[in-house]
Chain A
Amino acid sequence: MISPAAAHRNLLLFVLPALAVYLVFAVLPLATSIVMSFFQTNGVSGDTFVGLANYVRLFTHPTISARFWNALLNNMQYFAIHLIVEVPMGLLLAALLTSGKLARSEGIYRTLLFIPATLSVVIVGFVWRLIINPLWGLVGFPLLGTESTALTTISLMSVWQYFGIPMVFLYSALLAVPNELVEAANIDGAGGWTTFWKIKFPLIAPQFGLIAILTYIWTFNGFDLVFALNGSAPGPNYSTDILGTYFYRTFFGSSGQLADLDLGAAVATIIFLTVLLVTAVYFWLIQRRLKSYSV
């Protein structure tokens, strides 16, 4: 029997390797990037501390701020579409998979439905671009080339790719619902519909909070699909620009555009805070309360 103090020490020792990697490859770059956002690293003359100047520029320059708010609003829409379409889709498919109606083919369907989530975004973007290509594809209307439909189109491609994730979450939660409860409900005369909504659904409800917050984190750190489809100045007229592409454009520049590392660092910090604050609020306020409700 080891003493609590020794157990504590051992615990630290075991955590150390992971902690070291995390510190060096995640915390340190993040901290450096935040520090950088307070500097003007312009030229070989060295770095000058400029306080909040980069942030002031980000939020007050007519063009820079307009593009930023546009990207933020687009990102919210991108998130909302994911939430509204992906979650009900995941729930429906998870419910069908666990309904027992599929019998032995359940495993096959589960795998098939999850496959898109394992594909590379470049492939997803390429395939969908061909499918909806007005020249060679199935849809005559230029979905990606029209301002009002472009963002929704890209969001739905992303939904198609990732609906497997909420599906798997809800699927495993549904499997964890104790059979006795379902049987008891059946004996009480509840049909499949009632059992699902009155027994199963309340038990898996806590999953929705988790799925929502994960979707939030993913979509606000989103970048790859938009970049793969539309590059770093996603049009038309920046209608598919999200925070990730906005950051990329600012930080990396382009052939005719200087890379603005400092402003880019400020954008990255704002994205980080946007994700951090909402996630923190969620965990403090909602997730803790939900825990007491789950079985």
Chain B
Amino acid sequence: MVALPEPDAEILAARDEILNDLKRLIAAPDGVIDHPDEIKPYETDALTAYRQTPLGVVLPETTVEVAAVMKYCHERGVKVVARGAGTSLAGGALPMADAIVIGVSKMIDILDVDYDNRTITLQPGVTNLGVTDIVSPDKFFYAPDPSSQLACTIAGNIGMNSGGAHCLKYGVTSNNLMGVEMVTTAGDIVRLGGKHLDAGGLDLLGLITGSEGTLGMVTEATLRILHSPEGARPILYGFETSAVAGECVDAIISSGIIPVAIEFMDKPAIHATERFAHAGYPLDVEALLIIEVEGSNDEIDTMLGRIQKIAADFKPAYERVAKSAAESLAIWKGRKSAFGAIGRISPDYFCMDGTIPTGKLPEALDRISSICDSYGFEVANIFHAGDGNLHPLILYNANETGETERAEECGGDILKLCVELGGCLTGEHGVGVEKRDLMVEQFTPAELDLQRRIKRVFDPKYLMNPHKVFPLVDNPGLAGPILSPVQMEAGE
């Protein structure tokens, strides 16, 4: 288990005083949660292996309230963990015993819908799917589509730079986020970007996207919305080996065709999801690809024809084009409910999130399978194959002594493999607490220190989600190598 630091005894002892102070800053009578029963849902997120009870939970409704709370916490030295819907698979929203949680569940106003500029501006507690729901009557949509989109919030999407199945074509959150209003740790309200297409000055918007709530708190977001395509249709392919499926993905992309999505599932994942969603997936193949294309009916036919011609060279054991909207929906329902489906066949699972260059897909599959074998765990693989984002799900049972630790170790080995193959530790879930100590696999001490010093610029007292993302060290971001010229000459 990843170690959590000892809580600050002074802050714990001052809990009542702090919560009373916070109640004065929030207008709504139920805006500060302090009863243990009501705090309970905030003890963990979707990485349920970790739990901590925070001091209390604050649910502001306005930017001004967030600013007042942030300013108070900054001055009082209270740690802050920002929370969207708590769907993080990496422990990004895991609180600390000596921290308050600021939740965005009451910040759900839509402030502006502007089709001429293709933007929507809203408070960040709106759910991901909620954005599309608002603009879909006018045939618009918001592109990033994480599997948790029914529940997860825009706040969390920005914090983790969330992706989804369709980001092969449309990009991840950072590519679809045009501006934010943000409260700094000192309580200043700043704006980054807006309805214009690039921002002036340093790209602070790019820096805070994916910063996992460690640099400030977003209180308003302006998102790119797009007109929906005329239609979309998936095609399913089954292959006798995962390696051949990987080669087929490679061949399609090499040919110059970039579908909207290319999703991969291996046999255990196919079986689990089929039992759950009845999508009509073939059960006798080792690997399944869902490839989706968009456009008019004719364009879709033509594009699928080109893909079919390429795929034929790889002798797929199964091929089926969705023939109706209902069939398409069922195919995607299966994929999007995959994590839930796995949850039904295994008491517990860890969902990994590494990314690799796509050409390494067959090698990665082979070696993931060996790693899991060596630990004696079953693994189900669900990948965004088009962009090399892997989600191996390690199946374990937390009630067996020591199994959680071994499953974590197994996951660590898989992520190290991703780095070794030229990829990274996390594609869209974030580092959180889960992968914090693996950061040394991807970054040099100098690079990690630079990142901690960047955090210090935004958060001089190191209060925002302080035990996440970077391995714990004493005085993070203060012990860095800022050398005098004389020291540099001496080669220190």
Is chain B found bound to chain A in the same assembly?
no
